[in-house]
Chains A and B, each alone.
Chain A
């Protein structure tokens, strides 16, 4: 096994990976930016090294500095987590050249799947269905895109070639909206990935976003860990995921799994990866993209399959054969994940920064919380707003939802605004309970009104009033104590006589 692993990431995922290493008895190294000195991953790791100022491009995206830390700490492997350098083939290559194991796929597979146009062409050749869109390899100019758009048809999607996580992505309903959306998508892609290239894709109406988790070892074995339902999205960011999906029956599950394995084999894929599909109303499914890394929502799969995906990643990277055959993978119960972000759901999900003054994390049966924050920690504007993932397991989907409601109530956080009220409203929504939602549900048909639950509101008013009353009394005492010539007790007795 590896002796020491460097985690080139921050936040909840860095902590998640550090935990896996600790369970495997591997020493750990954290890398951190100047504002993250007090972050959980720094405190959790066995060693920690500062890699530069707060902005990602000066720290978490600096390949040279991360490799330097790997050498100094004598780490023999690097886990990139998700985001940052996780899908940069040049990083995987640099690790290889430096003689450090990159815990992930080969650079060639990252490159093939990372360029979405190449990815589509590659899997299409292997017989995997794809969504209509611009097939061109490399970036098209604005003129070329505007010319080709009518052939694909509206509504359509603009996506960043280097992208992921919804950054640089726009929905365009009418031709008139295309130039403006193109400009802002390119800007956002440029800022997030340093590459403003974009491509177009047909928007499949009523589509659900369902993905298949894969594990592949260096000995040619590829298995799938079944699907995750990720249709609940906002601005193309997933917000709630579950496993399994209500919309996938045994037959569709088997077909999707088989196709996903084929797509991975088309690029000689190794390690954990995910194939994202769009599934239409008639159960036709289309390849969207492959994420050549660990996913944010991997815990829901872990909860229902019992497989620790991060530990498997490390074993695979060490050259071990998979410990599971396809037939070993069973689905036990249901798991749901709510992404708790530092965003205000009552104000258009505006990011909320500041200090977390109070924090109490949900516990109890069937509840898992993956987080990188703590009471007193500061949410800075430099990184992703994800502060915690709340995952609940239930024997059935119904039990998982009820447990999630309970766990959302228990999750107490003050100091910043969070998306918890959004999740509560979603868990209460009939559409969610019935499972009748698609990828545009949150934005088009779900409204989060400032609900007036009369009872809790009255209770909150009483608590506030009693606290204010108590503080007022205290203030009066402090101010007036010196002015009186006798003790409080005598004064009180006198006052009471007057009242008779």
Chain B
């Protein structure tokens, strides 16, 4: 079974040949993955190299905590990969995006108005949470669509605050 696995902007072609053998980007190695506690602790021996990781599946992605770093991994088999490639190009690259509250908190200030042009990195909203003021910034250039909140309003995690066109 052949997989294309993405970590950040890196991709690896990983083929699982048979029990205990894999080919990673053309190099064949022995691989022995064991679940240690049935709760996400895994031990991996690649040839004789030993690695231990915590693994958590979240939606379509797999989170791997390895040596203090957390990696989000997307695994696609060949069929999924072909599907994804055939639909690419049909989706507009820059549509409307929603700026959502990353955590529950209190809106301290709203720095933009509907229709206003903003640059990437410009502060849109100031949110107070964990006793600190946090500036929520524009992830890219754009025009402000709707402003859904006002100062002193309490917001929940994931609530849409502002949309960018």
| Chain A interface residues toward B at CB < 8 A | 167, 184, 187-188, 191-192, 235, 342, 347-348, 350-353, 357-358, 360, 381-385, 408-409, 411-415, 417, 420-421, 424, 450, 452-453, 456-472
Contact = CB atoms under 8 A, between A and B. Distances in A.
Contact of B3 (A352, A358, A469): A469
Nearest to B108: A187
* Among A167, A351, A383, A471: residue with most chain B CB under 10 A: A351
Interface residues of B, number: 55
A312 B73 CA distance: 50
B74 to A, nearest CB: 8
A411 B33 CA distance: 21
Contact of A467 (B24, B55, B130): B55
Nearest to A468: B75
Interface string B1-43: 1010101101010101000001010000001010000011110
A453 B105 CA distance: 35
29 contacts: A187-B108, A187-B133, A188-B133, A347-B102, A358-B39, A358-B65, A381-B129, A409-B67, A411-B68, A412-B68, A414-B40, A414-B63, A415-B56, A424-B69, A456-B67, A456-B71, A458-B24, A460-B69, A460-B73, A462-B12, A463-B66, A464-B7, A465-B5, A465-B12, A465-B14, A466-B22, A467-B42, A468-B62, A471-B57
A348 B39 CA distance: 31
Nearest to A346: B70
B133 A466 contact: no
Given A461-B71, A462-B14, 15 more contacts: A350-B103, A350-B134, A412-B65, A417-B70, A457-B7, A457-B8, A460-B53, A460-B69, A461-B10, A463-B53, A464-B62, A464-B64, A464-B71, A465-B12, A469-B3
Contacts of A352: 102-103
A383 B131 CA distance: 7
Closest 3 CB pairs of A and B: A464-B73, A468-B75, A460-B71
B112 interface: no
Nearest to A423: B68
B143 to A, nearest CB: 23
Given A463-B44, A465-B3, A458 B56 contact: no
A462 B66 contact: no
B54 A350 contact: no
Nearest to B76: A468
Residue among B10, B130, B135 facing the most chain A CB atoms (10 A cut-off) = B130
Nearest to A350: B102
B103 A424 contact: no
